[in-house]
Amino acid sequence: MRREIPLAITVFVGFLLIISVFFPPVETLGEDFSLSFDIIAVFAFFLGGGNLIRIHLKKLARRETDWMFSIVTLGGFILMLTAGLLKIGNPGDIATSVNTEGMLFESIYRSVFVPLGATMYALLAFFVASASYRAFRAKNREATILLVAAFIILMGSTPLGAMATSWMPESLSIFEIPNLAVWIMSYANLAGQRAIIIGIGLGVVSMSLRLILGVERSYLGKEG
């Protein structure tokens, strides 16, 4: 029974939601069922928070590698949680949002989290440059095509690319770097992206059918 009941639920809900797309009288069923996602998400928030505390406390207790970072993680988590739940610095009543100006939560978000997030993103520039320097090689024909495409896209995504080839006559404007970049994005990239999307679509249909028909049972765990 531990296997049959979940299977029966999957088959029933799967078919019901497919039917709801094609039959107007039951078309709102999909939206109604999606409410369950919200309910599960609420539990997931608690589970996620609890798990974070458990893992980092364990790391601290055992003095594992880089245990100092766990202090920062737990400190940040508790600080933001306290600032949000207690609405520290609240300029209004209890119903005031934590995003209101003057609230500690909002201040930390704007003054600490936003600059830190931007810094993490900015570091990518250094790693991309270093990785490109080390790995972008014209080893063979395919790699050379990739290299030329990268050069055009890199130049095409700056005003310098336009300036570098703006002297070209109108009849050769297709060879201007920004136009070449648009061509690569609109044709070469488009073809690849469409192939990926179609592939994913077919995969999703196939996997959904396997789930609905009970062929795919790995989601049941060992019981499956």
Partner 1 sequence: MNRRMIEMSILAVITILSIIAYLGKINGWHNGYTFSTGLSITLIILLAASVIFILVLTIKGKLIGRRIVFLYIGIAITLPLFMDISQEIVVSNDVKAVYADLEGLPAGSKILVSFDYDPASAPELQPMAEAFIGECFKRDFKLIMMGLWPMGPQQANMAVDTIMNRMGLTDQDIIYGEDWVNLGFQTGDVFVIQRMGGSFESMFHTDINGRPYQDIPLVKNIKNFSNIDYSFNLSAGFPGTVEWVQVGVDRYGLKLSCGNTAVQAPTVYPYLKAGQLSGLIGGMNDGAAFEKLTQLEGKATKFMLSQSFSHLIIIAFIFIGNVAYFRTGRKSALKK
- Point out which residues bind partner 1 (CB under 8 A): 28, 30-31, 34-35, 37-38, 41, 95-97, 99-100, 106, 109-110, 113-118, 120-122, 125-126, 128-130, 132-134, 136-139, 147, 150-151, 154-155, 157-160, 162-163, 166, 178, 182, 185-186, 189-190, 193-194, 197
Q: In whole angstroms, what is the distance from residue 109 CA to residue 16 CA? A: 43
Pick between residue 134 and residue 222 the one whose CB is nearest to partner 1: 134
Query: In whole angstroms, how close is the CB of 1 to partner 1 at the nearest point?
Result: 30
Nearest distance from C-beta of residue 72 to partner 1, angstroms: 16
For the bound state, the minimum distance from the C-beta of residue 200 to partner 1, rounded and expressed in Å, comes to 10
Burial label, 180 (beta-carbon count in 10 A; 0-12, 13-18, 19+): buried
**Is 123 or 213 the residue whose CB approaches partner 1 more closely?**
123
Task: Look at residue 173 and give its three-state secondary structure.
Answer: helix
Nearer to partner 1, 11 or 17 (CB): 17
Question: In 3-state terms, the chain is what percent helix, strand and coil (to 5)?
Answer: 80, 0, 20
Shortest Å distance, C-beta 105 to partner 1: 10
| Residue with Cβ nearer partner 1 (61 or 114) | 114
Which C-beta is closer to partner 1: that of 47 or that of 197? 197
Q: What is the dihedral of CA 172, 178, 183, 185, to 10 degrees?
A: 170
Give the whole-angstrom CA distance, residue 181 versus residue 171.
18
CB 13, min distance to partner 1, A: 14
CA dihedral 8, 11, 14, 19 (to 10 degrees): -110
Q: How far apart are CA 26 and CA 36, in angstroms?
A: 17
Minimum distance between the CB of residue 180 and partner 1, rounded to whole angstroms? 13
Radius of gyration over every alpha carbon of the chain, rounded to an integer in angstroms: 27
> Contact at 8 Å (CB) between 17 and 30?
yes
